[in-house]
């Protein structure tokens, strides 16, 4: 990986720099977010996307929020602004649990730090929040490496690997989740073929995954979403690896719309189906996938694309951004801690400790 999806520039008075993923693959443009409003829009409009990248960006977003607190104001005021920033940013996307996890971690750690501090020690609080955001970012980079190392054994030489949406470096602070095992296998000299679903309606697979894998020198072919089943029947797919935006306590997994269909097709053709995601993606407060909130996105994403009309004006549109794959159809979940074979409530809890 020779680029960073996100990077904090400067000290606590600095800004967050993002790769604007709305413009890829045609243009590689960096977007500067200098306040929480700009970051909120970047998350909402998918300039930055992918559960881990959203979480890390949100942590830095709290630093942006703290910049409007004057140095002579009280710690209590600083914590109020911090809480307001967390609440505001948490409303940007409803499904990706890393967003809420990162914001809650920053808020809790900041409250612990502020306990017993001087009333006007705002500078120290700002510096602490930035340090915590840096820690979350660094942990994400290491998490990606560990997922890759734990998952590369599932990619055999000469295999055909199907992936959906984008769960690579563009979706994280590191080298990705679902793509990380591919990068690690490639680094070991293994040759294989990746098939990237285009991933309608926003084409994250065609625009982003193919771009990443091509840059890395990994053989990749883009396919339309409705071609996967036929390739499976032809024996071209040996494994499916996708990322996740939220995983319930029983192993049911929410990911980009279309993932559920792939899991059913994989089961029908006896093809292993893997989820690669960090342990922070698990939400043990949710018993099963039926409780995971599914984001419904704007109808215009389906009616138009790239400035061209793709459906009649006024036609009704159903545009859920995610679906849920049942744990029974998941061969294994690959995390930075190891591998959960045939996930269940019990095996998930044992894995997470």
For 148-172, write each residue's pLDDT tens digit. Answer: 999 999 999 999 999 999 999 999 9
> Residue 306's pLDDT is what?
81
Question: Half-sphere exposure (CA, 13 Å, Cβ side) for 78?
Answer: 28
Query: Of these residues, 225, 245, 252, 323, which one is catalytic?
Result: 245
The ranges of the chain annotated as CATH 3.40.50.10470 are 155-352
Could you give the CA distance from residue 353 to residue 347 in angstroms, rounded to a whole number?
10
CA atoms within 13 A on the CB side of 328: 3
The DSSP line for 166-182 is --BGGGSSSSBSSSHHH
With a cut of 70, which residues of the chain have pLDDT below it?
Answer: 1-2, 118-120
Q: What is the pLDDT of residue 116?
A: 72
Give the largest Cα separation in the chain, rounded.
68
Q: What is the pLDDT of residues 68-123, one digit of tens each?
A: 999 889 899 999 999 999 999 999 998 888 999 999 999 999 999 998 776 668 99
| CATH 1.20.120.420 boundaries in the chain | 6-146
Peptide bond into 202 cis (omega under 30): no
pLDDT for 120 equals: 65
Looking at residue 72, what is its pLDDT? 87
Annotation marks residue 11 as catalytic: no
Contact assessment for residue 163 and residue 197, using Cβ atoms and an 8 Å cutoff: yes
**CATH architecture group of domain 6-146:** Up-down Bundle (1.20)
- Rounded Cα–Cα distance for residues 195 and 188 (Å): 20
Helix (H), strand (E) at residue 228 = helix 228-233
What pLDDT does 71 receive?
87
Domain 155-352 has CATH 3.30.390.30: no
């Amino acid at each position: 990986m020779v680029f960073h999806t996100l990077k904090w520039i400067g000290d606590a008075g600095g800004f967050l720099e993002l790769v604007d993923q709305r413009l890829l693959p045609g243009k590689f443009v960096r977007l500067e977010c200098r306040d929480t409003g700009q970051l909120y829009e970047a998350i909402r409009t998918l300039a930055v996307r992918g559960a881990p990248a959203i979480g890390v960006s949100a942590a830095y977003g709290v630093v942006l929020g703290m910049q409007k607190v004057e140095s002579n104001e009280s710690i209590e005021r600083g914590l109020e602004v911090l809480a307001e920033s967390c609440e505001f940013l948490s409303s940007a996307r409803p499904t990706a649990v890393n967003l809420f996890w990162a914001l809650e971690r920053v808020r809790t750690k900041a409250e612990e730090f502020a306990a017993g501090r001087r009333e006007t020690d705002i500078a120290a609080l700002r510096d602490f929040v930035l340090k915590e955001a840096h820690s979350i970012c660094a942990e994400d980079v290491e998490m990606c490496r560990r997922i890759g190392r734990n998952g590369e054994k599932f990619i055999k030489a000469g295999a055909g690997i199907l992936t959906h949406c984008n769960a690579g470096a563009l979706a994280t602070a590191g080298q990705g989740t679902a793509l990380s095992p591919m990068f690690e296998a490639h680094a070991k000299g293994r040759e294989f073929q990746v098939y990237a679903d285009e991933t309608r309606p926003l084409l994250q697979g065609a625009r982003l995954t193919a771009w990443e894998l091509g840059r890395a020198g990994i053989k990749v072919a883009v396919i339309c979403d409705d071609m996967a089943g036929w390739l499976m029947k032809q024996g071209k797919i040996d494994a499916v690896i996708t990322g996740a935006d939220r995983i319930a306590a029983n192993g049911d997994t929410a990911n980009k719309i279309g993932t559920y269909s792939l899991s059913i097709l994989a089961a029908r053709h006896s093809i292993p189906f893997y989820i690669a995601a960090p342990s922070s993606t698990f939400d043990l407060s949710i018993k099963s996938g039926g409780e995971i909130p599914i984001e419904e996105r704007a109808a215009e994403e389906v009616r138009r694309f790239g400035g061209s009309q793709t459906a009649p004006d006024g036609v009704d549109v159903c545009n859920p951004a995610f679906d849920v794959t049942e744990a029974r159809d998941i061969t294994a979940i690959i995390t930075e801690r190891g591998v959960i074979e045939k996930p269940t409530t019990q095996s998930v809890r044992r894995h997470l400790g």
